Structure 1
């Protein structure tokens, strides 16, 4: 693959690589490092990329695996899984505070999901990937992806409902 082909096919997905890295590693610095590492890996494999059908799914798979490896390292045990791409531009500080608290609650609930559910939910809901790409990235069958996503959503809905019931009692 020539430099121009690499630039046109790989560079446009760099932000998605960063977002997935940030989702998995939490820290912007760690996500930037991971994104750079993934881009280096892709650059080093540029001659093999012509043989790959879906470069974006391949890149996201490399990103997922790299980030999971980083989480397993002893030096990165303090990293946690959260989603912080939410920004509310509402003028009312009270509404901003409530929205932030709700987001923190949902993030905490997402954090407690099993790893596969958490990743499938992120890829579908945050990144907007189609099921076939998620199947490639996660190395899962389509039915398994749908079931996993359904279970993750159901789990979150149950937890949120339970939370609201507890708040209404108090």
Structure 2
């Protein structure tokens, strides 16, 4: 595989790899480093990946494993939860604070989910994959994806309700 072919197959996937790395590592710098490392690994294995059916699935799996290894090695000591995707057109300090708190709780609760549920929830709700695409990526059937997604959402919903209704009878 020459450089032009490689770039045509990897460039569309690069943004998804970064978003996945950012979701897992949280730190923007760590996510950029992880994405760069994965792209270097993909380039060094370009002869092998030319034969693969789905380079995207391979790259996503590599990214997930790389990020999990980074987290296990505790080399990401400066991680913090940050949310920057919320935009309120009518600025209300109290409402903004409540929304920010809820988003942070969702991230915390997502991290407490089992690995498979966390990945499925991330791919579906953050990356906007379809259930069939998730099934292909994670080598599951669509029913298992729907069940895991439902359970993950239910767990997060119940935990958020507990937190928001704390002390209310």
Q: Same fold (TM over 0.5)?
A: yes
1:116 corresponds in structure 2 to 116
Deviation of 1:41 (Å)? 1.0
User: What is the CA RMSD across the aligned residues, in angstroms?
Assistant: 2.3
Q: Answer whether contact 1:23 1:83 (CA < 8 A) is retained.
A: no
Cα offsets for 1:18-62 (capped at 9, x unmatched):
110011111111111100011011111222222111111111111
Q: Answer whether contact 1:23 1:84 (CA < 8 A) is retained.
A: no
Q: List 4+ stretches of structure 1 deviating above 4 A.
A: 77-80
2:153 corresponds in structure 1 to 153
Deviation of 1:8 (Å)? 1.6
Change (3 A) 1:70 1:53: same
Instruction: Normalising by structure 1, report the TM-score.
Output: 0.85
Unaligned runs of 5+ in 2: none
Q: Answer whether contact 2:30 2:76 (CA < 8 A) is retained.
A: no
Partner Cα separation in structure 2 for residue 107 and residue 55 of structure 1: 28
Instruction: Normalising by structure 2, report the TM-score.
Output: 0.86
Tell me the matched-pair count: 168
Unaligned runs of 5+ in 1: none
Partner Cα separation in structure 2 for residue 13 and residue 93 of structure 1: 37
Partner Cα separation in structure 2 for residue 120 and residue 44 of structure 1: 29
Deviation of 1:122 (Å)? 0.3
